A and B are shown apart, each in its own frame.
Chain A
Amino acid sequence: MTVFLIRRLLQSIVVLFVMSLIVFVGVFAIGNPVDILISPEADQAERERAIRALGLDLPLHQQYLVFLRKAVTGNLGESFVFSESALGLILKRMPATLELALAAMVLAVALGVPLGMWAGLYPDAASSRTIMAGSILGFSLPTFWVGLMLIMVFAVMLGWLPSTGRGQTGTVWGITSSFFTVDGLRHLVLPAFNLALFRIALIIRLTRAGARETLLQDFVKYARAKGLCERRVIFVHVFKNILIPVVTVLGLEFGGVMAFAVVTETIFAWPGMGKLLVDSFNHLDRPVIVAYLLLMVCMFIAINFLVDVLYSVLDPRVRLVTRGT
Chain B
Amino acid sequence: MRLPGGVAITPTALAGEGESEFRRLAAEFCESRLAVAGLVLFAAVAAVAVLAPLVSPQDPYDLRQLSVLEGKQPPGSPAMAGFRFWLGSDDQGRDILSGIFYGLRISLGVGVLSALIALGIGVLAGLTAAYFGGPLDSLIMRVVDIQLSFPAILVALILLAVLGQGVDKIIIALVTVQWAYYARTMRSSALVERHKEYIEAAHCLALDRRRILFRHLLPNSLPPVIVVVTVQVAHAIALEATLSFLGIGLPITSPSLGLLIANGFQYLLSGTYWISFFPGVALLIAIVAINLVADQLRDVLNPRLQK
Show the binding face of A for B, using Cβ within 8 Å.
11, 15, 22-23, 25-27, 30-31, 136, 139-145, 148-149, 151-152, 155-156, 163, 255-256, 259-260, 262-263, 266-267, 277-278, 281-282, 286, 289-290, 293, 296-297, 300, 304, 325
**Residues A156 and B287 in contact in the complex (CB < 8 Å), given A256-B151, A262-B153:** no
Across the interface, do A281 and B247 meet the contact criterion of CB distance under 8 Å? Answer: yes
Kindly list chain A residues whose C-beta atoms are within 8 Å of the C-beta of B227. none
**Can you spell out 24 A-B residue pairs with CB atoms less than 8 angstroms apart?**
A22-B162, A26-B161, A27-B162, A136-B291, A139-B291, A142-B241, A142-B283, A144-B245, A148-B261, A152-B268, A152-B277, A255-B151, A259-B154, A260-B151, A263-B246, A277-B157, A278-B247, A281-B246, A281-B247, A282-B247, A282-B248, A296-B154, A297-B154, A300-B149
> In the complex, what's the smallest C-beta–C-beta distance from A25 to chain B, in angstroms?
8
Across the interface, do A156 and B247 meet the contact criterion of CB distance under 8 Å? Answer: no
Of the candidates A149, A293, A325, which one forms a contact with B161 in the assembled complex, judged by CB atoms under 8 Å apart?
Answer: A293
**Residues A145 and B280 in contact in the complex (CB < 8 Å), given A259-B153, A325-B141:** yes
Give a binary string over B115-150; 1 marks a CB under 8 Å from any A CB, 0 the rest: 000000000000000000000001001100110011
**Distance of A267 Cα from B242 Cα, bound (Å):** 11
**Distance of A286 Cα from B141 Cα, bound (Å):** 32
Kindly list chain A residues whose C-beta atoms are within 8 Å of the C-beta of B277. 148, 152
Give a binary string over B237-269; 1 marks a CB under 8 Å from any A CB, 0 the rest: 010011001111000000000000100010011
**Residues A290 and B246 in contact in the complex (CB < 8 Å), given A15-B146, A136-B291, A163-B269:** no
**Distance of A163 Cα from B266 Cα, bound (Å):** 12
Across the interface, do B242 and A143 meet the contact criterion of CB distance under 8 Å? Answer: yes
Kindly list chain A residues whose C-beta atoms are within 8 Å of the C-beta of B162. 22-23, 25-27, 30
Of the candidates B154, B241, B245, B269, which one forms a contact with A300 in the assembled complex, judged by CB atoms under 8 Å apart?
Answer: B154
Across the interface, do A141 and B284 meet the contact criterion of CB distance under 8 Å? Answer: yes
**Distance of A297 Cα from B146 Cα, bound (Å):** 11
- Is the contact region of chain A dominated by helix, strand, or loop, or is it mixed? helix
Of the candidates A11, A144, A148, A255, which one forms a contact with B268 in the assembled complex, judged by CB atoms under 8 Å apart?
Answer: A148
**Distance of A282 Cα from B242 Cα, bound (Å):** 15
**Distance of A255 Cα from B149 Cα, bound (Å):** 10
B158: interface (CB < 8 Å): yes
Return the chain A residue nearest B281 by Cβ. Answer: A145
Across the interface, do A151 and B269 meet the contact criterion of CB distance under 8 Å? Answer: yes
**Residues A156 and B273 in contact in the complex (CB < 8 Å), given A145-B261, A148-B280:** yes
Kindly list chain B residues whose C-beta atoms are within 8 Å of the C-beta of A27. 161-162
Across the interface, do A145 and B284 meet the contact criterion of CB distance under 8 Å? Answer: yes
Across the interface, do A148 and B283 meet the contact criterion of CB distance under 8 Å? Answer: no
**Distance of A145 Cα from B284 Cα, bound (Å):** 9
B87: interface (CB < 8 Å): no
Across the interface, do B280 and A149 meet the contact criterion of CB distance under 8 Å? Answer: yes
